[in-house]
Amino acid sequence: MLDASITLTENAMAAVAAFQRDEAQFQGLDLRVYLSGKGCDGFDYGVTFDQRMTEDIAFKVNDRLSVICDPSSIEFLQGSSIDWVDDERGRGFLVNNPNHRKFRGKFYKKPEWKAKLLGSTPQN
């Protein structure tokens, strides 16, 4: 278990606690953050409740909860914070990545980023 490099805001922790209290299917699961896509403006992120896999990297939030991430994505999520929003943007978990700007543009159109995410060697 690593030190907390992916964190949750107070709002996110309250939302997780409510989901786990009120919804049986979320009890005992960790909160997974993942890359759900890539566009010109950088990565899109997803957050869900999930079982921890052996290869996952875990960031302990408290005695009952960890944030988990697959090893291929951690480089792109390190330092992120997960918030819970319920406003004009919508309702749900929101990933705030202070490094998001680094992952924009043509550099990440290269095969290297995809290979890194997929855990393979880029094809030349």
Per-residue pLDDT tens for 92-120? Answer: 999 988 876 666 655 545 566 666 666 65
Q: Is the pLDDT of residue 2 over 50?
A: no
- Rounded Cα–Cα distance for residues 81 and 5 (Å): 8
Reported as a pLDDT band with limits 50, 70 and 90, residue 25 is very high
Cβ contact 56:66 at 8 Å: no
Considering the four listed CATH numbers 2.40.50.140, 2.60.300.12, 3.30.360.10, 2.10.50.10, the one that applies to the domain covering 7-118 is 2.60.300.12
Give the pLDDT score at 47: 95
pTM of the predicted model, to two decimals?
0.76
Maximum CA pair distance of the chain? Answer: 50
Sheet with 42-50: strands ordered across:
42-50, 30-39, 66-69, 57-60
Residue 12, C-beta contacts closer than 8 angstroms, at least 6 positions apart:
82, 83, 84, 93
Q: What is the dihedral of CA 14, 17, 21, 22, to 10 degrees?
A: 50
Residue-range domain boundaries for the chain: 7-118
Q: Which two tokens stand for residue 63?
A: 């005695």
Average pLDDT over residues 69-91: 88
